[in-house]
Chain A
Amino acid sequence: MKRLIGLLTILITVLGVACYVAQNLTPPENLHPLGEYYLENSYFGEHSAKSPEAVTSILWDYRGVDTLFETAVFFLAIIGSLTLFRLNKEQAEEAKQGEPKPQLPEPVVVVTKLTVAMILAVSASIALHGQLTPGGGFQGGSALAVAPLLVIAAYTKYALEKNGLDKTRAIIIRSIGLLGIALTALTPLLVSGYIMQNQPIFPAKALGVPLGGSLVLYNLFEYLAVGAGFTAVFLLLSIPEEKFKKFLGVRR
């Protein structure tokens, strides 16, 4: 009975607060001048990023250098974890030895195959539509990283490595992504003298699809770099504990 009274009190309080907030929560009538500027200029206007998605154009164009440093922080974190798990050649070879056999019952394995294919498609669409719809490189890359994680869970990390995606390749793909971001940021320097400039150096449209100039390039490279960076970390984290204790020389 006491619990019921407590429950009822909480329910009535939450409902009351919700009703109160809903009545007093009116949308603002006037836009902030800065917000108005971005809304007017992200697709039309003179200082335009030529992208209908205002958030992406702010992130990678108006506030691009800021995002560049944010990305650098994330990649330093990945480098840190890779350094923490550093192995020499024989140890890395030994970490790859194992049975690439599914660990889970048949239905789970089959569904995982289907899901992995769907995740690859969806993550690519999130990243490559970043200049048109909500989404972008980081979000798409994070979604992409779920695919190898699922493979590691349903099969083993050895299955992933036997099929060609080992730590070295993941780091190479990640480096290609980072190099792409750096080149895209530095190319305008050669043409006009500004770093990370978007229009009019990069094309705004291709085959009738708005590309947002450099936004699509940044999104693509960020997608590769984030996805592959997470994959490398997941591959290291999935090395069995016994093997790692052996590498580190931990006494039992």
Chain B
Amino acid sequence: MNTLFTLGAILVIIGGICDLFGAIGLLKFPNFYIRLHAATIGTIGGAAVPLFGVALLALSTNIPNKYAIAGASLITGIITLLAAPAGATALAYAAHKTNAVEWNPKTDHLKEARK
């Protein structure tokens, strides 16, 4: 097998590990903001990275329409890469602004910056 295939397979495996850690974090983390971090691990590490891996895998083989598969995976990965952080930011902002969740920060950089 060539380098592209190995690289793609490694990315897909990293995605699986990220998904597992994201799921464990979502169940075990104590409050909303840290759980949001776990959810983002699931979307970036667990969805965008393996999609890039799939693109590399498709390029390394000789299946029909391999460029279409690779391009679609790449674009879906990029869109996920853009949309997931924006969604997480919007959620965190809304939760912070409406004071909807409990929040006991050790350090509050936002408050320091606003002073």
Contact = CB atoms under 8 A, between A and B. Distances in A.
A58 to B, nearest CB: 28
Interface in B87-115: 89-90, 93
B17 interface: no
A108 B94 CA distance: 12
B90 A108 contact: yes
B93 A115 contact: no
A114 interface: yes
A112 B89 CA distance: 12
A104 B97 CA distance: 10
Contacts of A240: none
B79 interface: yes
B85 A107 contact: yes
Main secondary structure of the interface of B (DSSP, over half): helix
A115 B90 CA distance: 15
A60 to B, nearest CB: 28
A107 B87 CA distance: 10
Q: Looking at B82, B89, B90, which has the most chain A CB atoms within 10 Å of its CB?
A: B90
Interface residues of B, number: 8
Interface string A154-177: 100000000000000000000000
Contacts of B86: 107-108, 110-112
B79 A107 contact: no
B34 interface: no
Interface in A126-155: 154
Contact of B79 (A105, A108, A118, A154): A118
Nearest to B84: A111
Given A108-B93, A111-B83, 8 more contacts: A105-B90, A107-B85, A108-B90, A111-B86, A115-B79, A115-B82, A118-B79, A154-B90
In the A-B complex, the 3 residue pairs with the smallest Cβ-Cβ separation, listed nearest first, are A111-B86, A108-B86, A108-B90
